Amino acid sequence: MSRFVKHPVIALLDSRATFREVRQIHAKLVVDGTLNDNHLVGQFVKAVALSDQRYLNYANQILDNSDSPTLFALNSMIRAHCKSLVPEKSFDFYRKILCSGNGLKPDNYTVNFLVQACTEIGMRETGLQVHGMAIRRGFDNDPHVQTGLISLYAELGCSDSCRKVFDSVSCPDFVCRTAMVTACARCGDVGFARKLFEEMPEKDPIAWNAMISGYAQVGESREALDLFHLMQMEGVRVNAVSMISVLSACTQLGALDQGRWAHSYIERNKINITVRLGTTLVDLYAKCGDMSKAMEVFWGLEEKNVYTWSSALNGFAMNGFGEKCLELFSLMKQEGVSPNAVTFVSVLRGCSVVGLVDEGQKHFDSMRNEFGIEPQLDHYGCLVDLYARAGRLEDAVSIIMRMPVKPHAAVWSSVLHASRMYKNVELGVLASKKMLELETKNHGAYVLLSNIYADSDDWDNVSHVRQSMKSRGVRKEPGCSVMEVNGEVHEFFVGDKSHPRYNEIEAVWKDITTKLRLAGYKADTSPVMFDIDEEEKEDALCLHSEKAAIAFGIMSLKEDVPIRIVKNLRVCGDCHEVSLMISKIFDREIIVRDRNRFHHFKDGLCSCNGFW
């Protein structure tokens, strides 16, 4: 029988075959003498290895019983292992090729499968060695190998190497171009990726998905959504991968209406809700401040993994529902789902937002003692934040000093924020100095330290901080607030008057200001770091981006519709107070997601309880 025609008995093997059926087929082939032909042994090894990951060891045993395994059989084992849970074992069979006594030599298939194994392992040194071997053996110009190398370097984050490989391809085919678009998008080089994308004579869903995902990953969410709408207009098939990127873009923008539309699109088009897609949906609603919908989706999922549970836990924590976060964590453990490191970050945040110090410490200790999870930097950061928020600043600093890993700036930022809240100037100065040792251009450390000095009427040091910022070339990041009205995303920047309806927004804000003052509002101008008089300071505060967004929301949204805002910085004290008062005076629910957490303003109260 020809080696290229599959044996009829071997052809019975597929992914549905049970182990008993595999053994029965094996016995049949041994009895009728089929496996005396080394080429048919190769076919059988391939069929067994690729039918189910669980049968890889059995396939290896069959191969061990062969006197002269063929290159086809060994390549099949490399191929099967490169997509397995142990891709590094692919190299065991590569060594068997090199050490074979019958003169076997690696071919282009060998190299291509080894490149795939390196991609799965994600080890730069091994990948470079395989690339070198491909060059030495003359396979570096093989189209499949070149495409694989592009994907490998994308996985390693080496965009320059991706370009070098791509530039060496004389006539890149459709698959190679798609791989390059995907690679550039993954490496964050969306400009070059878009150029290649536009030059492609035809584009499949993989290329579209890669571009949308690339935009979402680098934070260019509006471009991601625009491209998705273009994808629909072109009639390209949309799948779960597309929708994950679209939902991620909606999440970043806080575009709840567009997220709801995307969810509806998934249901209308009967797109299979995989675990990952379901988790992304939970994350969308949680990070848009709609925890009731997030949990409705959560409980409706047929399958949930640890990341789905962790996403829901994080949603409760960031929205200020610490007790519900801990209740869900207890239920998670009852359901037999083992928490991972990501889970504990959410749990510790949940304890922090409601000040449950002892509970938080207990969960931190349980990581190592109960679950064998070694606490990492993020967990120590949460523990520091837990103690700092509760006013136990000395304990927080003590934890930092005893940490087995070097603290990052965010850890000291927790102490700095708490120092301002509890008016501890000494620790505030220490924390800011530590932050600036780690990040010399961190404008937040300067601003917070200035605010601490301003709160204590130390204007000489306020001036000194300002001069330090100037001399070191540090500029405060401009505030930006994003909100969605009737499916359209609007951006507001501090002091910017370019919005097409700015005159109306300004008129509405003046009306709001009048009502605020009648209710007893007086602007908190102490944090404003400018040598100007009080009236000008109030004007500076009036130009903060979230105030413009709130005014736009009041004039554009129905009274029963919450005003949802996503802000790139932490909310300042004055804007927080203004939002509290507007929620009561105008009977409006305002939901602000700032850099750190959610603020749910309603009836003159905020979910953060005055600590953010």
Q: Supply the range of the domain harboring residue 532.
A: 480-606
Cβ neighbours of residue 460 closer than 8 Å, sequence gap 6 or more: none
How far is the C-alpha of 253 from the C-alpha of 261, rounded, in Å? Answer: 14
Q: What burial class does residue 580 get, using C-beta atoms within 10 Å of its C-beta: 0-12 exposed, 13-18 middle, 19+ buried?
A: buried
DSSP, residue by residue, 496-548: ---STTHHHHHHHHHHHHHHHHHTT-----TT--SS--HHHHHHHHHT-HHHH
Between strands 598-602 and 605-606, the pairing is antiparallel
Can you tell me the mean pLDDT for 451-475? Answer: 78
Distance CA 7, CA 494 (A): 72
- Which has the closest alpha carbon to 142: 121, 113, 163? 113
What pLDDT band is residue 458 in, cutting at 50, 70 and 90?
confident
- The pTM score is 0.76
The Cα 478–Cα 407 span in angstroms is 27
* Nearest Cα to Cα of residue 226 among 488, 556, 481: 488
Q: Would you place residue 24 in the very low, low, confident or very high pLDDT band (cuts 50, 70, 90)?
A: confident
Half-sphere exposure of 190 (CA within 13 A, CB side): 18
Same domain, 472 and 501: no
- Position of tokens 């035809």? 202
Residue 224 lies in a domain: no
Assigned domain for 169 exists: no
When the pLDDT of each residue in the chain is averaged and rounded to a whole number, the result is: 86
Residue 75 CA to residue 78 CA, distance in Å, equals 5
Q: How large is the C-alpha radius of gyration of the chain?
A: 30
Question: Does any domain span residue 86?
Answer: no
- Helices marked H in 168-239 — which ranges? 174-186, 190-199, 205-217, 221-233
What pLDDT does residue 270 have? 92
Quick one: pLDDT at residue 533?
Answer: 38
Confidence of residue 534 (pLDDT cuts 50, 70, 90): very low
Q: What is the pLDDT of residue 540?
A: 45
Which residues, 6+ apart, have CB-to-CB distance to 315 below 8 Å?
282, 283, 285, 286, 287, 291, 294
Q: Which of 327, 304, 332, 306 is nearest to 316 (CA)?
A: 327
**Domain-terminating residue out of 476, 500, 532:** 476
| Dihedral sign (CA 35, 41, 47, 49) | positive
pLDDT digits (tens, 9 = 90+) for 258-269: 899 999 999 999
Tokens of residue 285, six digits: 């609603």
Instruction: Quote the CA–CA distance of 69 and 504 in Å, as a whole number.
Output: 79
427, 454, 476 - which closes a domain: 476
Q: Does residue 542 share a domain with residue 463?
A: no
Q: Rounded distance, CA 26 to CA 10, Å?
A: 9
Identify whether 472 is part of a domain: yes
Identify whether the C-beta of residue 130 lies closer than 8 Å to the C-beta of residue 140: no
509 closest CA partner among 556, 572, 555, 569: 555
What is the CATH classification number for the domain harbouring 418? 1.25.40.10
Q: Are residues 430 and 502 in the same domain?
A: no
Asked if the model's pLDDT at residue 194 lies above 90, the reply is: yes
- 536 and 440: one domain? no
CA distance 126 to 88: 10
For residues 508 and 502, give the distance between their C-alpha atoms in angstroms, rounded to a whole number: 10
* Residue 435 resides in a domain: yes
Residues 584 and 559 in one domain: yes
Average pLDDT over residues 224-234: 89
Q: What integer pLDDT is reported at residue 539 of this predicted model?
A: 45
CB 279 within 8 A of CB 307: yes
Query: Number of structural domains, the chain?
Result: 2
What number of residues does the chain have? 612
Asked if residue 484 and residue 465 are part of one domain, the reply reads no
- State whether residue 279 is helix, strand or coil: helix
For the residues 395-408, what does the mean pLDDT come to? 93
- 602 and 567 share one domain: yes
- 248 closest CA partner among 292, 208, 279: 279
* One domain for residues 418 and 534: no
Query: Which phi and psi angles does 565 have, rounded to 5°?
Result: -130, 140
Q: Are 117 and 88 in contact (CB under 8 A)?
A: yes
Which of 433, 451, 476 is the C-terminal boundary of a domain?
Answer: 476
C-alpha 296/C-alpha 299 separation (Å) is 5
Is residue 456 located within the same domain as residue 533? no
Note whether residue 357 is domain-resident: no
- In the predicted structure, residue 324 carries a pLDDT above the cut 60: yes
Residues 457 and 492 in one domain: no
- Local confidence band at 12 (pLDDT 50, 70, 90 cut-offs): low
Of 199, 158, 190, which is closest to residue 176 (Cα–Cα)?
Answer: 199
CA distances from 349 to 441, 469, 474, 475, 573 (A): 27, 32, 30, 30, 22
Mention every residue, 6+ apart, whose C-beta is less than 8 A from residue 211: 181, 185, 190, 193, 194, 197, 227
- Whether residue 550 contacts residue 563, with contact meaning beta carbons closer than 8 Å, is answered with yes
Confidence of residue 387 (pLDDT cuts 50, 70, 90): very high
DSSP string, 377-446: HHHHHHHHHHHHHTT-HHHHHHHHHH-SS---HHHHHHHHHHHHHTT-HHHHHHHHHHHHHH-TT-HHHH
Quick one: average pLDDT of 24-48? 77
* pLDDT confidence tier of residue 536, bands split at 50, 70 and 90: very low
Please, which residues have CB within 8 angstroms of residue 231's CB and are 6 or more apart in sequence?
Answer: 208, 212, 238, 242
- Give me the pLDDT at residue 417, please: 86
- Tens digits of per-residue pLDDT, 305-318? 999 999 999 999 99
Both 541 and 426 in one domain: the answer is no
- pLDDT number for residue 529: 46
Residues 465 and 430 in one domain: yes
Q: Has residue 151 been placed in a domain? A: no
Number of C-beta neighbours around residue 264 at 10 A: 10
Tell me, yes or no, whether 584 lies in a domain: yes
Query: Which helix or strand (DSSP H or E) is residue 480 part of?
Result: strand 480-485
Express each pLDDT in 116-148 by its tens digit: 999 888 878 888 899 999 999 998 888 899 999
* Cα angle for residues 277, 592, 611 (degrees, 5° grid): 115
Digit-coded pLDDT (tens) for 156-170: 888 889 989 999 888
Dump strand ranges (E) for 121-197: none
